[in-house]
Structure 1
């Protein structure tokens, strides 16, 4: 189906599930292809703007460990650790 199984494991299970749901919503609700998502995740935006994205509000996801004025890649929607690392892939 091209979607992630929305299941997490260990201490980070809830964060994993939220990330998988976010990706799946981009594919199903926003009708994005994997290529669209890749391009989207590499664009830059302020933390304040990310926190106002409807998809994140729906999942109750908020980036709180960065200043609202900080410019970050959209990949931060998966959290700051994964979001920062994603740019190295």
Structure 2
């Protein structure tokens, strides 16, 4: 299944890319499952997408929980929580 993945803020900086298209060998996968697969790609990915790190996720422009099931041709966005002041 092909997915478009976008990275924002510190996650983008750590990974050195803003967007990529990945091909996952599954018909569906949860956000946690996707994060785990992406983290396996190396130490920068493991640090940027660590499950213990607060990371917000949107699928097709809607905020979702970590157990949300992603399907073919979805757009997934990973970004750290925004703080302001």
The TM-score with structure 2 as length reference comes to 0.32
Structure with higher helix content: 1
